[in-house]
Amino acid sequence: MVRAGWKWTRGRGTKQLPILICAVIAVGAAVAGRTHAVFFDSARAALSDWSAPALSGLRAPLTAMQSWTGSVAGIFTVYSENAQLRQENAELHKWQQVALSLEDRLRRYQQLLNAVPDEKTPFITARVIGESSRPFVRTMILNAGTANQVRKGQAVVDQRGLLGRIYVSGENTSWVILLTDLNSRVPVVIEPSHRRAILAGDNTPAPQLELDVGEGPIRSGDRVLSTGDGGLLPPDLPVGVVTGNGENARVVLFATAASADAVNILDYRVPEPPVPADPATAVPAKTSSSATSPAVAAVPPDSRESPPEEPDR
């Protein structure tokens, strides 16, 4: 009996040993991830580079399946959506004519004022090949990296507006932290009041607005743009519209990661400040002693007339 009981206890401890080992490894990995974040980011980028072809192949059928299921669900609402789209299309045609007229007027004003045109920010186009919940709540994985001149901090946009910025970049892949993430804080400006604020993500679809500078009123429906403060993101990127008022103001984003497929990575660089002139090479100012007439200065000293000699007495 004693021997049988000893065997049962020994077998039970043997079964629990792998669980204890896994728990110790998990705790050690969590502690190491906090103390050596750079190493784990590099390892994560290398792993995404290695798995990029597989992620691209797996995402294609999943995207097709999501599109098909979405179309099946939308069959029952086609009529109402068609009527709404017709109305929106008529309104957009009206606003298109207004926008074209204002664009032509602005161009003529710029020509009259001889204004310097805005420089276009270069960009590269990448595709979303995967998503991850680490190291943040939700992260997009793109199929472009340092081999395509992608670097940390660059803005990621689609045709609707700003999505986020590059967090870590591998050789052939890069990871994007979204505006909705808890770790995202982006300086923005609210139009038309020109009120400065910080767009702070809180893991919800509509990030919070932390009002910063200015006294202008904030109303629901105001547009929110990036400011470019700090030199990280380009200015005037569309972000979203304000919903709510006061301290409860939030932003409904134009661009969402759920519908993002092809995105642009902006290569924005802050213009270099002008180099001051060297004082040693500056032209010295003319003094009164050197202000001689051109006729006198052109005559050499030897050729000037000498005073008449006095006669001998």
CATH number at residue 148: 2.40.10.340
Helix, strand, coil percentages (3-state) for the chain, rounded to 5, are 45, 20, 35
Strand 139-142 to strand 223-226: parallel, antiparallel, or no bridges (unpaired)?
unpaired
Mean pLDDT, residues 84-101: 91
Is 74 or 287 the better-scoring residue by pLDDT?
A: 74
pLDDT for residue 157 is more than 90 = yes
* Residue 131 lies inside a defined structural domain of this protein: yes
* Residue 157 lies inside a defined structural domain of this protein: yes
- Structurally, the chain folds into a number of domains equal to 1
Mean pLDDT, residues 209-238: 87
Contact of 123 with 267, CB cutoff 8 Å: yes
Mean pLDDT, residues 237-255: 90
Mean pLDDT, residues 96-106: 91
* Residue 257 lies inside a defined structural domain of this protein: yes
* Residue 232 lies inside a defined structural domain of this protein: yes
Contact of 129 with 142, CB cutoff 8 Å: yes
Q: How far apart are CA 60 and CA 281, in angstroms?
A: 63
* Residue 299 lies inside a defined structural domain of this protein: no
pLDDT for residue 312 is more than 70 = no
Contact of 58 with 182, CB cutoff 8 Å: no
Q: How far is CA 280 from CA 274, 277, 283, 285, 286, in A?
A: 18, 9, 8, 13, 16
pLDDT for residue 238 is more than 90 = yes
pLDDT for residue 8 is more than 50 = no
Q: How far apart are CA 172 and CA 174, in angstroms?
A: 7
Lowest-confidence region among 4-18, 31-45, 52-66, 212-226? 4-18
Residue 301 — very low, low, confident or very high, per pLDDT cuts 50/70/90? Answer: very low
* Residue 158 lies inside a defined structural domain of this protein: yes
* Residue 52 lies inside a defined structural domain of this protein: no
* Residue 229 lies inside a defined structural domain of this protein: yes
User: Is 28 exposed, middle or buried, given 0-12, 13-18 or 19+ CB atoms closer than 10 A?
Assistant: exposed
> By residue range, what is the domain housing residue 174?
123-270
Lowest-confidence region among 10-14, 223-227, 277-281? 10-14
Q: What pLDDT is stored for residue 290 in this prediction?
A: 43
Q: What pLDDT is stored for residue 162 in this prediction?
A: 95
- Sequence-separated (6 or more) residues with CB below 8 Å from residue 187: 196, 197, 198, 199, 212, 226, 227, 228, 229, 230, 233
